[in-house]
Amino acid sequence: MLKIENLCKIFNKNSIDEKIIFKDLNLKVEKGEFVTIIGGNGAGKSTLMNLISGSMFPDSGKIFVDNKSVTHLSEHKRAKFIGRVFQDPLKGTAPNLTIEENLLLAMLRDSKRNLVFGINKQNTDFFKNELEKLHLGLENRLKTKVGLLSGGQRQAITLLMATLIKPQILLLDEHTAALDPKSQDKILNLTEEITKNTEMATLMITHNIENAINFGNRMIMLKHGKIVLDLNGDERKTVDIYELQEKFNTIF
């Protein structure tokens, strides 16, 4: 589903502050694969998300989605098949719009239609059905402005919006980091529920090694823009979390 070939990204090129983030990075993520990504500050985690989503472009190299090059495609056009949830619950929604209006915007993201067409009963029934899956009682609060929700509720809405029309790739950029522990657990479990049994390729950045091991089916460790550890399936199940934590601390 996602293929990255010889990706290079340099900040402040040809200056005394030049910083090479990626140099010839290669990565393949298959359909339905859920990859957790860990690494220290400056490892290139968020930059990788930005390059995949199109919010920045590489200096060289190529990015393919479903065997089609998207290397120079704008972020707006990639949004039709790439969903993204940020760390900040305030980023993914329009706070002054209601829950149903936010969901309508998400549903129409690959359409030329807009809110002028209004929300009909079919939309409402669909939204209620999807919201019920969150188990937060939000299906009864469709007219509530999203800005009045708690951080956890808002992030749940953002996650639903990013996957309402199933994208080919889902990017989760530390999407639980700003939440309290109880809300973190809730959102992680929702993430697993929403992504299972789909063809979406999911990439999730996390600083929590335990979550990196327990969620998804593949774990990647980045250091200075290079993949220094890539564990899949059964390999992850046999990992000793304390040994991995020690390895992480040693590397970073």
Per-residue pLDDT tens over the stretch 71-90 = 999 998 998 899 999 988 88
Per-residue pLDDT tens over the stretch 118-133 = 677 888 899 999 999 8
Structure-block tokens of residue 205: 């950045």
Is residue 104 scored above 70 in pLDDT? Answer: yes
**CATH number for region 2-93+167-251:** 3.40.50.300
Of 223, 193, 243, 252, which Cα lies nearest the Cα of 34?
Answer: 193
Structure-block tokens of residue 160: 């639903």
Residue 116: predicted pLDDT: 47
How many helical (H) and strand (E) elements, i.e. helices and strands, does the chain have? Answer: 9, 10
Of all helices (H) and strands (E), which one includes residue 35? strand 34-39
φ/ψ of residue 228, rounded to 5: -105, -10
Per-residue pLDDT tens over the stretch 8-66 = 999 988 888 889 899 999 999 999 999 999 988 888 999 999 999 999 999 999 999 99
φ/ψ of residue 87, rounded to 5: -65, -40
Instruction: Identify any residues that bridge with 171 across adjacent strands, giving them in sequence order.
Output: 84, 203
Q: How confident is the model at residue 115 (pLDDT cuts 50, 70, 90)?
A: very low
pTM for this prediction: 0.88
Per-residue pLDDT tens over the stretch 170-213 = 999 999 888 888 888 989 999 998 888 888 999 999 988 888 88
DSSP state of 154: H
Q: How confident is the model at residue 111 (pLDDT cuts 50, 70, 90)?
A: low
**Domain residue spans in the chain?**
2-93+167-251
